[in-house]
Structure 1
Amino acid sequence: MSDSRQNYRLGDMTAAIFAQAAAANPVVLLPLGSHEDHGPHLPMGDYLLAEQLAVRIAQAATDKGVVTFAAPCLPFGVADYFGATPGGLALSPASFRAVLAEVLASLLGHGLSNIVILNGHGGNVPVIHEVTLEIRRTRNIILPSFYLWKIARQLMEAQLGAGSQERFGHGAEPLLSLTKALRGAFVQPGEVLAHGGETMLGLPVSGFGTLDFHGLAIDAPVEFDQVPLAATQAAWPLASAELGAQTAESLISAAAQFVVHFGRLPRGAAGCVV
């Protein structure tokens, strides 16, 4: 299965070819992403990064002896802070929950119970937990979720060392260098201005959904166009395709190792991890 001609995308395979491969109950990766504003410098479709990484993770895990395929990426994430910015395409939490539950039910219905979710959007996290918890309770099947950007941040922080925390955030690292490495043609040149000074209720906007009240974080319906871009401004002059490529390789390696661990766990009578 490590032949360079091997297909790792379900979308590239005929149903008959995949039915033959599926008889061994391979691991199936389900990438999730978003289509949202990342600032004036980055493309909106970070789901394309998740999809690209999923294929490379599938290949790396297969090369290690655990046959793995990447399902098509769900490009629309849970709507959170981006309603005010143009071009964003998102689902309500209820809609995303229904779509995710039905996609997973479809895979499970085909007897594909070894599923790893590769999540590429923070707003998806609580809904993924709800859906997978229900599957565990009703079917006694455990479906783990590997949060790509959270783990990429951990790997990049370890590489950069102390004092790098100000470079991390939405539109900043780790997605900035990852995009330069994997989709560099779509990164817009120029300076990124750290806009600020936005207020709500007479208080300064301090972050996603928060206002600053004498040093205390007050939750409020703040959207992305009002959030300061300090992290992006700090990351912009230091980000690079080289850093992104190194992080991508570390991320692929870590994810593939997890997939191999998951794929080799003892299975129950139904062939799934319980």
Structure 2
Amino acid sequence: MTECRLLEELTRTESRTAAEKTLVVWPVGAIEQHGPHLPVGTDTFTIEFLTRQAAEKASSEISVHIAPTLPFGSSHHHLPFGGTMSLTTQTYYRIVYELAESLIVCGYRKIFVLNGHGGNHELVQLVARDLALNYPVSIAAASYWTIAWDALVELNAHNDCRLPGHAGKFETSVMMALRPDLIHEPRPHRDHTGSTDPRGSVRPYRAEHHGSWQAIDGFTDSPDRGTSELGRRWLDATVDALAKAMVEFDSQATV
């Protein structure tokens, strides 16, 4: 019998009994500035919603436990703006590693880390790689936009903005659908923001430039182009893609 349960609502017996055959999904987000118009919890609100909705959808085929959302991320690049609680690269890696390790020691053998913040992207993948080297576990780690990329491009989520960008059209649309009460108006406008390459968000090389976030005032494109209707469409497509990924990974788990 399949199920979808929150880990924090289980007893130790319920968790231990189901752990070996259950996929545990762990959402990780951030508390960081999102321009003058979005709440600092944007990434955490988004990934928690997506994870819970996708896990519920996936539970028609597999059993899923949802671990409590980690609300803090690696966000030092946003500290100059205020409203940010960040962990260093090294500390964030250790926290994610040790918390996931705890799940393994407690009996879980299939773990999926779902990320909602760009600064965490590579770090959660490194954790997954290292844990699978050290323990008999199947573990996946991904950012929600990479899993849903093709579906989002099909809905033109890459046009006239950065996908997913930061506090621009995409994230503003998502938050207008999720928490319109937290949007501050007027939203900023920016001309000539361009579109994202539909082939993917990963460039042939990574370039970092000191002061680049201050130069764009902490947001990547034009938030005033976001709408709640776009946000709902993009959220629905992402939930579908994440649910499929959970089921696919569960079926491929080797331990």
TM over 0.5: yes
Aligned equivalents of 1:17, 1:139: Cα separation in 2: 23
| Residue from 4, 8, 21 that aligns with 2:5 | 8
2:52 corresponding residue in structure 1: 55
State which drifts further: 148-157 or 120-129.
Answer: 148-157
Aligned equivalents of 1:115, 1:172: Cα separation in 2: 31
The structure-2 alpha-carbon separation of the partners of 1:167 and 1:92, relative to structure 1 and needing over 3 Å to count, comes to closer
The DSSP-based 3-state class of the residue aligned with 2:142 is strand
Over the residues paired in the alignment, what is the CA RMSD in angstroms? 2.6
The structure-2 alpha-carbon separation of the partners of 1:191 and 1:50, relative to structure 1 and needing over 3 Å to count, comes to closer
Query: What per-residue deviation string (whole Å, max 9, x for no partner) do you get for residues 225-265 of structure 1?
Result: 332578532x423x211211111111111111111111122
2:70 corresponding residue in structure 1: 74
Q: How far apart are residue 153 of structure 1 and its match?
A: 5.3
State which drifts further: 143-152 or 110-119.
Answer: 143-152
1:29 corresponding residue in structure 2: 25
State which drifts further: 250-259 or 133-142.
Answer: 133-142
Q: Which amino acid aligns with 1:146?
A: A
1:100 corresponding residue in structure 2: 96
Q: How many residues align?
A: 239
1:250 corresponding residue in structure 2: 237
1:108-187 map, 5 Å: 108-139=104-135, 141-152=137-148, 154-160=150-156, 164-166=159-161, 168=163, 169-187=165-183
| Residue from 187, 192, 211 that aligns with 2:188 | 192
Aligned equivalents of 1:132, 1:28: Cα separation in 2: 14
State which drifts further: 180-189 or 101-110.
Answer: 180-189
1:232 aligns with 2:228: no
Q: Which amino acid aligns with 1:252?
A: V
Aligned equivalents of 1:140, 1:231: Cα separation in 2: 41
Q: Which amino acid aligns with 2:242?
A: A
Q: How far apart are residue 124 of structure 1 and its match?
A: 1.1
Q: How far apart are residue 123 of structure 1 and its match?
A: 1.1
Query: What per-residue deviation string (whole Å, max 9, x for no partner) do you get for residues 53-106 of structure 1?
Result: 21111111102x201121001111113411101110010011101101101110
Q: How far apart are residue 224 of structure 1 and its match?
A: 3.0
> Do the aligned partners of 1:100 and 1:131 also contact (CA within 8 Å) in 2?
yes
Q: Which runs of 5+ in 1 are unaligned?
A: 196-216
Q: Which amino acid aligns with 1:61?
A: A
Q: How far apart are residue 218 of structure 1 and its match?
A: 7.6
Q: How far apart are residue 142 of structure 1 and its match?
A: 3.7
Query: What per-residue deviation string (whole Å, max 9, x for no partner) do you get for residues 128-149 of structure 1?
Result: 2222221222225341113113
1:211 corresponding residue in structure 2: none
| Residue from 39, 42, 46 that aligns with 1:43 | 39
The DSSP-based 3-state class of the residue aligned with 1:236 is helix
TM-score (norm 1): 0.78
Q: Which amino acid aligns with 2:216?
A: V
The DSSP-based 3-state class of the residue aligned with 1:118 is strand
The structure-2 alpha-carbon separation of the partners of 1:147 and 1:100, relative to structure 1 and needing over 3 Å to count, comes to same
Aligned equivalents of 1:174, 1:218: Cα separation in 2: 22
Q: What percentage of aligned pairs have identical amino acids?
A: 25
Aligned equivalents of 2:148, 2:253: Cα separation in 1: 28
> Do the aligned partners of 1:83 and 1:223 also contact (CA within 8 Å) in 2?
no
Larger Rg: 1
Q: How far apart are residue 188 of structure 1 and its match?
A: 1.2
Q: Which amino acid aligns with 1:62?
A: S
Aligned equivalents of 1:77, 1:126: Cα separation in 2: 12
